[in-house]
Chain A
Amino acid sequence: MDNPDTRSNYSQRLYKKIGYFLIIIVTEVIIFYMFINFLSLKGIDYKLFLFVLPIIAFFVLQRYQKIINFVKESHSQCNSFSIIFMILLLIFIPFLFKDNPYLLHICIMCGLYLITALGLNIQLGSTGMVNFAFAAFFGVGAYTSALLAVNFHFSFWLGILAAIIISALFGLLIGSLTLKSTGFYYALVTMAFQIIFHLLVNNLRFTGGSGGISNIPFPTIGKYSFSSSLNIFGINLPYQANYYYLVLAIALFSLYLAKRLYNSRTGLVWNAIREDEIAAKCQGISVNKGKLEASAIGAIFGGMAGAIYAHYISFISPESFTFHFSVVLICIVILGGLDNILGVAIGAVLLTVIPEKIRFFAEARMLFYGIIIIAVLIFKPQGLVPERIRKYNFLNFKKDSI
């Protein structure tokens, strides 16, 4: 231990580690700052410049691969630190927006879209099922918990459980009915399901018809209602902060689960089904089982987000679960990057915030939305963060030993 060589090695490693930490802190603070700026943008003003500048800087840095590689390396080497630091920054958001509940509302919607898109990514990205009925999964969750809460006075927590179960069953139903159809045909069948769902909730009496369901109660923990303002260390936060922390917790948990699924055998089997069904069958992979799993698990994510949405907005109507919403979700996954969880997260945040920020274009809003998507897909056809190859280097197995 007293060998000077190992000691200098040790101090070298320490310096490197400190360097990694500093890099992580700097990059994440920059990203966070950009995000905050972008959120609080009002029309075109000087803050847009603050948003564009780091992006230009990023493209300039692309020329210096060494720097980019070092940043990547530091994030992959100190993975847990970079995640914890990001969570700390995210926890800080309600304090920044305590006078501006609207921005907090956008953040909550980001979280909900993220959870839903993670579910869709399991089907569209991992298994290759182009599901145009995902808004229906979201809607099933929302209607389940809303109806139970309004008619039978279920609490939010029981309602979310029921939403998970019912949406999983709904996913299994749609999955089993579409087992035989693949590719374009699957897309077409799910489109039909989406339209059927919309028509049904619009016309059935117990779902409240086109008027929807209103006065969905707020969630409570014991006597504490989510509609009261949150007080932390003497700072009063708007009532949205309750939901923000709830959604943050569930979104982080969903991300964790999605990551685990991706790294597990299940994720690998899903990928095999996406790539070639006949080859998968001939390797002993049960394609039907894999597809049913993907539809049910994807639906669970969607249903969960739907239930939270219903209780947060406290009003739902068929107009929230239209075909348009399905298309937006598919855009999120394709734009962010198929089968890449980080990509889906980025896509969800961007496609939630951008429509809010281009409201000043009024009628031309959707036009700009479309232009942005086309631009991204021209310059980054694989999505913002392309699919990666699984690396098992955490094992450090010896390649030459055999």
Chain B
Amino acid sequence: MSAYRKRLDLWKGDGKLHQMEILKIEKVGINFGGLVALKGINFFVKEGEIVGLIGPNGSGKTTFFNLITGIYQPTSGNMFFNGEKITGLSPCEINERGIARTFQNTRLFWSLSTLDNVLLGMHRWESYSWFVSMFGRNYTEKKLRENIEESITLLNYFSKELVDKMYQKVKDLSQADKKRVEICRALASRPKLLLLDEPSAGMNPEETTELMDDIRKIKIKKPDLNIILIEHDMRVIKGSTQRVIVFNHGIKIFDGTFEKASNNKEVIEAYLGGEI
């Protein structure tokens, strides 16, 4: 089905489309009133890639994520995912196309349990209606069982302790566990593109190392998953990404490998301040 659809999309495409590019951003910009938050961003993610997105505070990284997931609508430019135009779609339609994200300031369903959070992540594969919930056969046991088993597998990617905490309210978990549950919730929708917004925020160095291992493990288990990673911890970027994009003042200033980025004059200026 999806292969057929992909081919169909290729035919429909404007000819410039390459099968390798899963996400393609063309000259995207957004203004908030007079403030130009992002300007003329050109960007692509190849299939199976992990891309790091870095830049100083306020350079527009999270705004960029909000644009991709449809929380903000771009004022100019176009976005394509899997050959399909996603500009102007609502967040929930974009998730149905296969993009999932986490948030910088961890937005979980706080008073629900860990398991419920992950189950809610699977929403795009669920068919439900209020009528069936009230009068029909109840949220069939078989489906629920499958979902729970899948959730436990996902939680197990990270740690066994997380499985033991599956009936705890997520607001009682530690900061690192909250971040992990959020990644699990995003993975539960079986996305093609995963957007991670500062996953290591609030983690100590050991937990950050664990997180890097976890990302690598997930990548091994799901080889066709694409990840865009916003991070301030350069160890994580160095350890887990293949390509780095650098933003500064809403403009993309660099695109290439981490080694090149760390020697690039413009990037160093953006981080450390240039000569006056």
Contact = CB atoms under 8 A, between A and B. Distances in A.
A276 B95 contact: no
Contacts of B128: 264-266, 269
A265 B126 contact: yes
Interface in A252-306: 257, 260-261, 263-269, 271-272, 275-276, 278-287, 293, 297
Contacts of B115: 390, 392
Contact of A284 (B95, B167, B168): B95
Given A281-B92, A284-B92, A286-B92, A293 B130 contact: yes
B152 A399 contact: yes
Contacts of A392: 115, 144, 148
A397 interface: yes
Given A395-B145, A397-B148, A268 B153 contact: no
B23 to A, nearest CB: 16
A87 to B, nearest CB: 21
A391 interface: yes
B95 A266 contact: no
A293 B133 CA distance: 12
A390 B116 contact: yes
B107 interface: yes
A66 B113 CA distance: 26
A402 interface: yes
Interface residues on B, range: 35 or more
B149 to A, nearest CB: 6
B144 A395 contact: yes
A376 to B, nearest CB: 20
Given A281-B90, A282-B71, A402-B153, A264 B109 contact: no
B264 interface: no
Contact of A282 (B101, B144, B167): B101
Interface in A353-402: 387, 389-392, 395, 397, 399, 402
B91 A265 contact: no
B147 to A, nearest CB: 10
A257 B134 contact: yes
Interface string B134-150: 10001101001100110
B138 A272 contact: no
Interface stretch (B50-58, B117-125, B225-233, B248-256): B117-125
Contacts of A260: 133-134, 138
Given A276-B108, A389-B169, A282 B69 contact: yes
B139 A397 contact: no
B167 A265 contact: no
Nearest to B169: A389
A282 B100 contact: yes
Interface centre among A275, A276, A282, A402 (most CB of B within 10 A): A282
Given A278-B71, A279-B109, A390-B113, A284 B133 contact: no
29 contacts: A261-B130, A264-B128, A264-B132, A264-B138, A265-B133, A266-B128, A266-B130, A266-B133, A268-B119, A278-B107, A279-B109, A281-B90, A281-B95, A282-B71, A283-B189, A284-B92, A284-B96, A284-B123, A285-B120, A293-B130, A387-B111, A389-B112, A389-B168, A390-B115, A392-B148, A395-B144, A399-B163, A402-B152, A402-B156
